[in-house]
Amino acid sequence: MDTQQKTGTPPYPDIPALIENDEREYRDPGIPSTVAVLGHPIHPLLVTLPIAFLLALAVTDAVYWLNKDSFWARASFWLVVAGFATTLPAALTGLMDFLRIDRVRKRTAGLAHLVLNITIIVLTGINLLLRLNNVVGAILPTGLTLSLITATLLGLSGWYGAELIYRHKIAVIGNSSRSEP
């Protein structure tokens, strides 16, 4: 903050396609989530499950590729099932905040986070459908490729989600209005 006060410039880079800064948000106490229990936002809690399942899926697919043991193919199948099932409540709570909080929709990070998550859900659904009747055969090369792309997109989406929380103070314990002028 001292840098900002002395030079008149934001203390962080402003690259609109990637990182946006709004000086007013530095002093803002934050905007609470619209989906919370006792003030605690639900979306950050729910996203931990699909992240864990879908990252583990990429690992089990890679292990299957290396050793061809069908145990890893079965593990991958159940991970993609669990990953897909848990993306839905996580996405729903995130979508509710996207639709109800103006600041989320006004930031590049909000739209990027939404689009990446929709892409992740679609790729995971395709990955699941490919494996339904072909648990072992669907992994190489398509399943593994989809799993690795999904894992990469999860990292990007997580970065944008963190931008919303830490830089733009969305879904934090605060008392700012959800509607901005």
* Residue 145: inside a domain: yes
**Mean pLDDT, residues 39-43 taken together:** 91
Please report which confidence band the pLDDT of residue 4 belongs to, taking 50, 70 and 90 as the band edges: very low
Domain carrying residue 141: 35-167
Spatial contact of 60 and 80, defined as CB atoms under 8 Å apart: no
* Residue 113: inside a domain: yes
Q: Which segments of the chain does DSSP mark as H helices, in order? A: 2-7, 23-27, 43-46, 48-67, 70-100, 102-106, 108-131, 144-162
* Residue 65: inside a domain: yes
Per the DSSP assignment, residues forming a β-bridge with 15 are: 19
* Residue 13: inside a domain: no
Q: What is the rounded distance in angstroms from the CA atom of residue 170 to the CA atom of residue 167?
A: 8
Q: What is the rounded distance in angstroms from the CA atom of residue 89 to the CA atom of residue 121?
A: 11
Q: SS3 for 148?
A: helix
* Residue 53: inside a domain: yes
R_g of the chain, CA atoms, integer Å:
19
* Residue 176: inside a domain: no
- Predicted local distance difference test score (pLDDT) of residue 3: 42
* Residue 162: inside a domain: yes
As for how many domains the chain has, the answer is 1
At 76-112, the pLDDT tens digits run 999 999 999 999 999 999 999 999 999 999 999 999 9
* Residue 15: inside a domain: no
pLDDT at 178 over 70: no
**Mean pLDDT, residues 47-61 taken together:** 98
- Predicted local distance difference test score (pLDDT) of residue 17: 64
